[in-house]
Structure formats: C-alpha cells, structure tokens
Structure 1
Amino acid sequence: TAVSAFIGSGPPRFYLPVNPEDSYTSYGQLIVNTETADDIDAVMAFITPWAHENRPQAMVRVRKYGVGAFDDWKVEARFSGPAEADPQVLRDIAARALAILEDNPLAQNPRTNWRQKVRKLVPQYNQERARWAGVTRDDLASATKRSYDGMLVGQYREGDDLIPIVIRNSDMERKLAAVELDAVQVIPSLSTNAVPVSQVIDGIAIEWEEQLIWRWNRRRAISVQVSPQGVTAPGLRNSILADFEAIELPPGYTLEWDGEYLSSLESTEGLIPGLVPTMVAMTLIIVALFNAFRPPIIIFAVIPFVTIGITFGLLTTQVPFGFIALLGAMSLSGMMIKNSVVLLDQVNINIAAGMDSYTAVIEAAVSRLRPVANAAATTVFGMAPLLTDVFWVSMAVTIMFGLAFGTLLTMVLVPVLYAMLFKLRPPDGKQPSNAPRSIEATGETA
C-alpha cells in the first residue's frame, strides 16, 4: 500500500476522469494505492470511522476513483444570480439548502463550492499623510506583500525548468507580520528613505472576504454539493427535490440541477439524434419483411415489458440504472425484436404449409421455444463475466435479467397478441387438436 499526500490543492490530472481540486488553504487529499481491488473496501471501512472519531470537526470524504467519466459530487444544486449578485444573498440561499440536507438522513458531507470565508488584514490608507510621505497605494501594497507572501523579481532557468525568484522577509519577520504590520517599512517610488506603515495608515481592520466566487454562464453562482448515503443519487435528489424547489428565490435568481442528474440527462439527449432514424429504419425493415402492419405492432408491443426483468435485476443486485445500463437496454430491444421475428416467421411458414392460423401459432411457439431459449441462454452466460467489472456491470445485469425474462415473455405474449390482433379462433369452433375433445353421451372420447 502506498500513500500520496497533497496539501492546499488536489493532485494534477494524472487520470483522465479525475477533476483537479482548486487551490484552497484548508484542503488536503490523500491518495491510497492498495495491492488489490478487494483491499479498497477494507481501507475505506477503517478510515471513515477513524476520521469521525479523531477529526470530528473536519469533513472527510472517503471514496473510490470511478472507472470512466464520473461526477465528484453525485447530487449538486446550483443557485445563480445576476452578474454582480450580492455574495451574501447567494450564501443565505445556500444556507437554507444546506439546512435541508443536514436534516435528511440520506445525505452526507453537504457543502458549497464557495467553501468558507477567510479573514484578511486591511490597512486603512490615509491619503493625506501618505502624500506628504510620497507613498502611493501601490507602494503600500508592495510592502505588505513583500512582508509575507513575497514579490516575484525574476526567473532562473535550470535546464527546461523556470524557477521563480521571490524576495520576501525572513521567516521570523514573516511569522510576526500579522501582529507587527504597522512596523513594516515602506519605500516610496520616488525616494530611497523608508517609512513605517503606521505613518501612512489610520489603523488595521480585520475583514472577512470570499476566497472563491464561482460564475456560471457569466452569472455569479453557488453550488450546494452532497453525496448520497445508502441510496442512489436519483433517490437522494427525489427526497429533497420538493424542499429545494420550495426555497423562495429573489427576482433574477434561479435553481439548476447539476451532478449525476445533468450528466445522465445530457447523455440521454445525445442518443436521441441517432435513436429516431434508427427506430424508423427498424420499423420499415420489419414492415417490408412481413408485408403487413400488424406484425410490427406485435413486435414493438412486447419490448416495454422487458423493463420488468430489468427492474427486478437492478433491484436484486443493487446496481444503479445509469448511462451504460441504458445502452444495454437499447441493445436488448434488438434481441427482443429478433426473437419475435423468428416466432412470427415460423407462423407464416406453418400457414404456408397448410395449417390453419390458430394451430400455426401454437405449433410455432412450441417448435421455436428451444432454439430461442438456447440462443438467449448463450447470450446471458456470455454476459456473466462482465458482472465483476465495475464499468460494465450495469449493462451485464440489464441484458441478463431483461433477456431472460423477455424470452419467456416473448413465447407467451407474442402468440397472445397475434391471436388478439388477427382475431383467431379454434378451427370449426373446436379446441386445439392437442386438447382433450368433448365427451359424448356414450362416455367415449370423440
């Protein structure tokens, strides 16, 4: 096991799905690499209670890196206002949203992307005395910056690296800069004689300021971020949706949902341009194949029922329905169409062989049951290895459970719908040939 530590900001983007964390003085990150994937859960199970017990005042998030694109915060609500919106108004709105999340047992680690305000020392510049001393505001700013942060005066090239040259006070003076700021020496631009800061200021005030102010589409915006606890992201969002939308916003302020909700919505909308022509092409091919309109109606009417199997599979395995699962459901529709086409084509073959329509449907369902079931079984077992893959598991569950249930449903529902749409009846008003015939008065089977 190896550990990498980053203080003040996140690591560089060493892995494509990782979003680098912005610089912030009170932020730190530990990246733990384990020997095997199974060790990750054990490490997380140890760190989480330890952090709550030993660092209760800190917000410690323990999470895995995702495979493929993922959102750092599963649920995120963004409140935005005008371009020059009052930051305090946005913070008040966010505070009401945070109060809702703190009362929700399904939410954990709520925060805002503006973080906390920071304190700053503000020398109160006295323009009259500063003019007599020849000290400008820029001179005062340069002196205070030099006393602690330091000033960039040049760069030193070492091979391919540029190393900044910074001039600043000694470590001892920097540690005392906050309490002895009035004694810092200011050198005027037009003079070589230094004067203390206390001669050009009226005093030193302590103020709170926003260290981060985010914008969205050129509007000031604050995002309330939270992680789900024991539920999926849609489950948490649905539990807070009504309360968030009930927050009264001033004129010009809006609420937008980000996070996993927006990512799924954008991914789904991206499929629509290709989905519509695909559905049209599939419909035309099926109509041309059977030269009729009722068989396509039967085929497409069966597809929605596979959601029963998909839902059962996802609930049983506790796998969320995401974008990858949606791709699996779309491919599953093609498999269902194939099964229905095979069955309906066999019906036409039986009718062409001289069977009546009613008997042809029954015989087709019986004769095609084994081939269709075997083909579905090979697909289901072929998807089984993907159950251990964190990226493809949702697609595997969707196809396996949906196809298994859909195959059985096809062999029952397609004949029923065919008989309904074509208004089939047993020949001569009698029951099917494989059913017991009516018993006459003599007690013998007819």
Structure 2
Amino acid sequence: MLRQGNAQGPVVLRGTAADRTLPERLGALPVFGANGAVALHEIANIRLADQPSVLLRRDQSPVITVTARAAGLTSQQIVDAVNPAIKGLNLAPGHRIELGGDIEESADANAGIETYFPFALLGMAGLFLWQFGSLRKTAIIMASLPFVLIGASVGLKLSGEAMSFTATLGLLALAGIIVNNAVLLLERVQEERDAGRDLKDAVATAAAIRLRPIVMTKLTCITGLIPLFLFGGALWRPMAAAMIGGLALGTLITLVLIPALYALLFREKQTASAAWSPNSELTS
C-alpha cells in the first residue's frame, strides 16, 4: 500500500519466491521508468515495519480505539478508576484521550435529562394546578419530590452503588410514585372536609385511612425490586437500590409531611371577636 498524505493506493510486486521472501533481494528488483531501469533500493528505502491495514477517523481526526469489558462495574466506576491514570499521562501535542462507548452514551443521556427535566416539573405542576385549582395543594404535592432524592441517596449509599444512568431513571420513576401518594392523601382530606369534619380531624382521619393502602402498595413494589437488586448485575443494581431507598424513606416522610403541610397551609384563622346574646350583662 502506497500512502501520500491521506491518499493511498495498492502496490503489487511480482517476482520469484526467493525475491519475495528475502528483503535484500527485493532492493535489487528493477524499476522501469522513462530513463530506463534502476534498482529499487536506489529510489526507495526498504525496511520491514508494521502498518495498520485500515486508518480509522472520528470527527475528521485519526483515532486509535482501545476497548475493554469490565464485568461487575458500572461506567461511572470505570471512569473513576481510569481518570487518575489518564491525568498522569504526558501526551504529545495534538493528541488527546476521550472516553466513549457506554460512558459517552450515559453522559449524553444524563445531559438530556438535565435539560428537559425542569420542563417536566413545570408540566407536572401545571397538571396538578389544573386538577386541584389550588396553588397551595400544588405546592404541597411538589414539596414531596425532594425527599425522593434523599431516599434514593440513602439506598445507593447503603448498597455501595454509584449514581448511574439507570439510577437516574429510577429517580424519575420514583417521582411519579411518591407524587401519587400525595395526591391520594389530599383527595381523602378533601373528602373528609366535605363531609363536615374540621381541619384537624379531616387530616388525621385521611392519614389513618390511606396509611395501610399506601404502605402495602409500596411494600409490594419493594418486594418486586429485590430480585432486580440481587441478580440485575452492575447495570440494574443502581436503579433497584435507588428505587428501594426512595420508596422506603420517601413514603414514610411523605406520610408525615403531606398532612403536616396541609394542616399548616390550610389552618383556619382564629378571630378574637366576642359573641353577644340578649342574656349578656354589661359590667363596669
């Protein structure tokens, strides 16, 4: 193969078996030109060297790809392991090292989630505002979302798993589940108040009635996630750990937080006016 810059073309030589196997015999081969024949070694330097059969490029730049499989490790764990070694390398000018494969795909996916997740939150808030017609109720529901992150973080910490793309997907799923708890509680509180109960009794009754269904539902979800956590491998274990932690801690916090916030935001103002009746007596 003859290369000139980025162009390359095939070169075919014909000769006897001895000429093809002995490099020194190769230099004596005649090369015919306009001025006659000359020996090959007179116009070329002949040496044995390894050359790539294919030149790979990425983003119009030459690239050498090194691939590896690390069983039992997530992409983030691999990044944390190789980054110190990469930073210690002294690269020649014009050379750089980039991480690709699952690492690159996870980074792109996380960037997409970070970009569009705020719009998803705004959409959720808009739906709740449309459903309940109350800014206070919408604020109560949205206030339960940060506790999803707390529960998921505890689950990842206790299990020793890293925050990965699948764990992020678990967080998104948890957001909908925990918000559902808040919606059920608020609807029951409103039913109790419509039935004539005062604020304190309505909140306490609704929390007591919804406690068992919510807890049993979340225990069922956690039980279903245990096989995924035990046998899901490095890819799915972070997701299962995040969801189990978020369901356990997030549900418990929500069962206390939502009634407390409702009682706080919807408390009735006490008036200090005195009631008058015909039997009242004036004293001086």
- Please, what TM-score do these two structures have when normalized by structure 2? 0.69
> Is contact 1:376–1:403 with CA below 8 Å preserved after alignment?
yes
Of 232, 236, 241, 1:389 maps to 232
Of 178, 181, 206, 1:336 maps to 178
> Is contact 2:74–2:164 with CA below 8 Å preserved after alignment?
no
Deviation at 1:228, TM superposition (A): 7.8
> Is contact 1:376–1:404 with CA below 8 Å preserved after alignment?
yes
Higher relative contact order (CA 8 A, sep 6+): 2
Q: Any idea what the Cα deviations from partners look like across 1:312-360, whole Å, max 9, x if unmatched?
A: 3233434443333322221211111111111111111222222221232
2:125 aligned with 1:283:
yes
Q: 1:215 to 1:292 in 2, by over 3 A?
A: same
Residue equivalent to 2:22: 176
Q: Any idea what the Cα deviations from partners look like across 1:383-406, whole Å, max 9, x if unmatched?
A: 334332345444333323321221
Residue equivalent to 1:27: none
Which moved further from structure 2: 398-407 or 332-341? 398-407
CA distance in structure 2 between the partners assigned to 1:245 and 1:295 by the alignment: 54
- 5 Å-filtered alignment, 1:397-416, equals 397-416=241-260
Deviation at 1:224, TM superposition (A): 8.1
Q: 1:225 to 1:188 in 2, by over 3 A?
A: same
> Is contact 2:199–2:267 with CA below 8 Å preserved after alignment?
no
CA distance in structure 1 between the partners assigned to 2:71 and 2:217 by the alignment: 40
CA distance in structure 2 between the partners assigned to 1:146 and 1:302 by the alignment: 76
Of 350, 353, 362, 2:204 maps to 362
Q: 1:209 to 1:354 in 2, by over 3 A?
A: same
Q: 1:247 to 1:360 in 2, by over 3 A?
A: farther
Of 138, 157, 167, 1:296 maps to 138
- AA partner of residue 180 (structure 2): K
CA distance in structure 2 between the partners assigned to 1:399 and 1:186 by the alignment: 75
Of 45, 57, 65, 1:204 maps to 45
Deviation at 1:245, TM superposition (A): 11
Q: 1:311 to 1:228 in 2, by over 3 A?
A: farther
Deviation at 1:411, TM superposition (A): 0.6
Q: 1:227 to 1:420 in 2, by over 3 A?
A: farther
Q: 1:249 to 1:303 in 2, by over 3 A?
A: farther
Of 13, 18, 28, 1:146 maps to 13
Please give the secondary structure, in 2, of the residue aligned with 1:188: strand
Q: 1:224 to 1:383 in 2, by over 3 A?
A: closer
- AA partner of residue 185 (structure 2): L
- AA partner of residue 258 (structure 2): V
CA distance in structure 1 between the partners assigned to 2:175 and 2:74 by the alignment: 25
CA distance in structure 1 between the partners assigned to 2:192 and 2:103 by the alignment: 50
Identity %: 29
Q: Any idea what the Cα deviations from partners look like across 1:147-184, whole Å, max 9, x if unmatched?
A: 6xxxxxxxxxxxxxxxxxxxx753x654423x43323x
Residue equivalent to 2:188: 346
CA distance in structure 2 between the partners assigned to 1:367 and 1:375 by the alignment: 14
2:104 aligned with 1:262:
yes
Residue equivalent to 2:213: 371
Q: 1:246 to 1:205 in 2, by over 3 A?
A: closer
- AA partner of residue 176 (structure 1): L
Residue equivalent to 2:278: none
Of 32, 43, 51, 1:188 maps to 32
Aligned length, in residue pairs? 260
- Please, what TM-score do these two structures have when normalized by structure 1? 0.47
Please give the secondary structure, in 1, of the residue aligned with 2:196: coil
| Alpha-carbon RMSD | 4.4
> Is contact 1:380–1:403 with CA below 8 Å preserved after alignment?
yes
CA distance in structure 1 between the partners assigned to 2:78 and 2:141 by the alignment: 37
> Is contact 2:154–2:245 with CA below 8 Å preserved after alignment?
yes
CA distance in structure 2 between the partners assigned to 1:371 and 1:210 by the alignment: 69
Q: Any idea what the Cα deviations from partners look like across 1:367-426, whole Å, max 9, x if unmatched?
A: 211110011112222333433234544433332332122111111122233334345799
Deviation at 1:308, TM superposition (A): 2.5
CA distance in structure 1 between the partners assigned to 2:30 and 2:185 by the alignment: 92
